[in-house]
Structure 1
Amino acid sequence: TQDGRYTEFGVGDLILFDTSRPYDAEFQRDVPVSRLLLLRFPRSLLPLPIRDLRSLSGVRIPGAGGIGGLSAQFMLQLARHMDELSPSDAARLSTLTLDVLTMALATALDAERTVPPHTRRRALMARIHAFIRDNLGDTRLTPDAIAAAHHISLRYLHKLFQEEGHTVAGWVRECRFEQCRRDLADPRLAARPINAIAARWGFANAAHFSQAFRSAHGLSPRQFRERCATAAPGSDCAR
């Protein structure tokens, strides 16, 4: 509750409140465990009028779909990997996170055009990257599906990735390889079959995965796992 507005929100939803003014918040009493991801930032960092922001305080931004959902997805992905970030990564991603949040709030205000073009583009790419990472295990994760989820044309999607020196399919494949490397290097997963690891991250054909992995890393998945098993403690074999 803030500014006389009372809102109930659930999993994935976003809600904005101003800690410089009175507010009240509580978890549902019949839910045994609840978790809240709290992002704090100076109000001055948002390139939106204070009057407009006040009209959003205590207003639920649905996380079930649209930009609100994609923005929540990005922030949850970031929270899961906070302990892996270097100080420089954290500084860069804090700026990116505000870009994403700015677009979510501007969309709720129907004021997307007031956001600078570079902010809109960075926010869009952040949401696309988070969407891809959240759906790596889905074999239907194609450029067409990614473009449709973000309401942009396939041509524009390819252009965005080309400007970063990547292809869409290449970036998806590298993200999948990254997760496979982590699992293959994890001693807790030593008994898990390689084809199960490949399938978990979207490689439906085990033979194709093995061939593509060898081409990319110079080792078969089995050889990579064996090398990691004998690596010195503390070495980052997964990279």
Structure 2
Amino acid sequence: MELVSTAKIPAKERFDFWRQVTTQSWVPMDSRCDRRQEDDFQARIGVTELGAVRAVLMTATPYSVRRTPQHIRRFDPETFKLSCPVRGRGMMEQNGRDGEFKAGDLFFLDTSQPYATGLAPDIAVGELLTLQFSPSLLPFPHRELRRLTAVHLPVSRGIGALSSVFLLQLARHLGDLSASDAARLSTLALDVLTVALANALDVHRAVPTHTRRSALLAQIHAFINQHLGEARLSPRDIAAAHHISVRYLHKVFQDEGHTVAGVVRARRLERCRRDLADPLLADRPISAIAARWGFSSAAHFSQTFRSAYGLSPREFRHESDPARELTSPVNVRKTTFQPFGR
């Protein structure tokens, strides 16, 4: 991920700097901030290329943007933007339609037409994931897609809800993706986009079967990640949430060379391994970490962990303790934590 931040920019210059950043990351537009908030303005932006889809994760104190006909004449890449607020709320406006958005919503904008959007001025910090892409990547006519601009895409249930979960999970892990991860996610991101927009347009037949299947698999994985802490999570629960049979769920995973139970177990073990290696959780009992990620039996967790990693949870935590490597003062580094952001 390419990361740009205002953290080291003098306060008086931050917002002018940010105007340039937003134009380079998205498209030319006018950025505005309440003068009373300019001195306290802070923002950062991370850009990850997911193949033909550009993913932009922005965290900022309140400000707004407006793209005018003059901006469009200056540069028109003919792209669309699907945005998913991660936290905070704000407004959007395009084609005579306007509305408010909040965390978990999905909304759609066309960069070839004037629009306005912004974070609510009374929030502390907002965070927004935006996927920018060419409409030529999707199997829908432009005029159909423009029906969706500045409206809330359905996220209360079904495909819309699962698409929202997938994008929120993507935002959470975007900074951790390697180049190979991003390459593998490129097709999934596009498939989820296609299915989410097909759902909003009610034109599912326009979506190829392999695209629907790939998007379904991505949404299932996002659902599993979200519910790992539920000890009773079962294939029946997962299938029911996605309106498919348990038999079909097993077939989807079998075609990928996995089993449902194996994927759930591997994800839980990875979360436990991460927590056991975290020095901030050094005082938390191993049994509590296991329970947090869905292991109801401490003995079963210990046996499963050892089978996967070759060490018991206690041995792994000991091996991961950074204090073991601090053999002299030279090894100690002072870290300054920034007050902004997560």
**Structure 1 length normalisation: TM-score?**
0.91
Q: Which residue of 1 aligns with 2:117?
A: 25
- Distance in 2 (CA, whole Å) between partners of 1:164 and 1:32 is 43
Q: Which residue of 2 aligns with 1:202?
A: 294
Question: Residues 49-68 of structure 1 correspond to what in structure 2 (within 5 A)?
Answer: 49-68=141-160
One of 216, 221, 236 as aligned partner of 1:124: 216
- Is the 8 Å Cα contact of residues 15 and 58 (structure 1) preserved in structure 2? yes
Give unmatched runs, 5+ long, in structure 1.
Answer: 234-239
Q: Which residue of 2 aligns with 1:35?
A: 127
- Is the 8 Å Cα contact of residues 154 and 200 (structure 2) preserved in structure 1? no
Q: Which residue of 1 aligns with 2:273?
A: 181
**Structure 2 length normalisation: TM-score?**
0.65
- Is the 8 Å Cα contact of residues 13 and 63 (structure 1) preserved in structure 2? yes
- Is the 8 Å Cα contact of residues 194 and 222 (structure 1) preserved in structure 2? yes
- Distance in 2 (CA, whole Å) between partners of 1:146 and 1:173 is 14
Q: Which residue of 2 aligns with 1:6?
A: 98
Partner SS, residue 7 of structure 1: strand
- Distance in 2 (CA, whole Å) between partners of 1:86 and 1:212 is 28
Q: Which residue of 2 aligns with 1:90?
A: 182
- Distance in 1 (CA, whole Å) between partners of 2:233 and 2:171 is 23
One of 284, 297, 308 as aligned partner of 1:216: 308
Distance 1:33 1:84, change over 3 A: closer
What letter matches 1:176 in structure 2?
A: R
Q: Which moved more, 1:126-135 or 1:216-225?
A: 216-225
Q: Which residue of 2 aligns with 1:99?
A: 191
- Distance in 1 (CA, whole Å) between partners of 2:159 and 2:124 is 29
Q: Which moved more, 1:134-143 or 1:213-222?
A: 213-222
| Cα root mean square deviation, aligned | 1.7
Partner SS, residue 119 of structure 2: coil
One of 246, 254, 257 as aligned partner of 1:165: 257
- Sequence identity, in percent? 64
- Is the 8 Å Cα contact of residues 12 and 62 (structure 1) preserved in structure 2? no
Q: Which residue of 1 aligns with 2:161?
A: 69
Partner SS, residue 81 of structure 1: helix
What letter matches 2:167 in structure 1?
A: M
What letter matches 1:107 in structure 2?
A: N
One of 135, 139, 142 as aligned partner of 2:231: 139
What letter matches 2:299 in structure 1?
A: A
- Distance in 2 (CA, whole Å) between partners of 1:12 and 1:90 is 22
What letter matches 2:197 in structure 1?
A: L
- Distance in 1 (CA, whole Å) between partners of 2:124 and 2:321 is 40
- Distance in 2 (CA, whole Å) between partners of 1:64 and 1:31 is 24
- Distance in 2 (CA, whole Å) between partners of 1:10 and 1:69 is 14
Partner SS, residue 39 of structure 1: strand
Question: Greater strand share, 1 or 2?
Answer: 2
C-alpha distance after superposition, 1:179-227 (max 9, x if no partner):
1111111222111110111011111111211122122222211111112
Q: CA deviation at 1:232?
A: 6.4
Q: CA deviation at 1:62?
A: 3.2
Bigger RCO (CA 8 Å, 6+ sep): 1
- Distance in 1 (CA, whole Å) between partners of 2:157 and 2:229 is 19
